[in-house]
Amino acid sequence: MKVHIRYFASLRESVGRAGEEIEFAGDQLSVSGLREHLAAHGVDVLGQTATLRAAVNQVMAGPETAVGDGDEVAFFPPVTGG
C-alpha cells in the first residue's frame, strides 16, 4: 500500500519537507497508526503534538479514520485567525 503524506505550515518547517510517499505492508491503516509509524521513523514532531490535525483525501479525519492504498494524508497544526 502506498500513502501520500503532506505536511503544512510550521509542521512542514519542523519536518524539513512538504511531503513524501510511504509504502506499507498490508491494505489498511488508521491515521493514529500512520502517525505512530512516522514518529518512530524520524518524524518526531508527529508523536509530540497532541493538537495536530489530519485530513484524508482533503476531508478532516480523526485518529481512527482509515487510510488505504493511494490515499493522501495531510498533517497540519491547528490554526487561528482574526
* pLDDT tens for each residue of 14-71: 889 999 999 988 878 999 999 888 888 888 777 766 778 999 999 999 999 999 999 9
In a domain, 24, yes or no: yes
Q: Say how many domains are in the chain.
A: 1
Enclosing domain of residue 21:
2-76
Secondary structure element (H or E) that encloses residue 46, with its range? helix 45-48
Q: What is the pLDDT of residue 19?
A: 95
82, part of any domain? no
- Given a contact cutoff of 8 angstroms between Cβ atoms, the answer to whether 31 and 3 are in contact is no
User: Is residue 58 one of the residues assigned to a domain?
Assistant: yes
In a domain, 37, yes or no: yes
Give the helix/strand (H/E) hosting 12: helix 9-15
Domain with 13 in it: what CATH number?
3.10.20.30
Position 81 in a domain: no
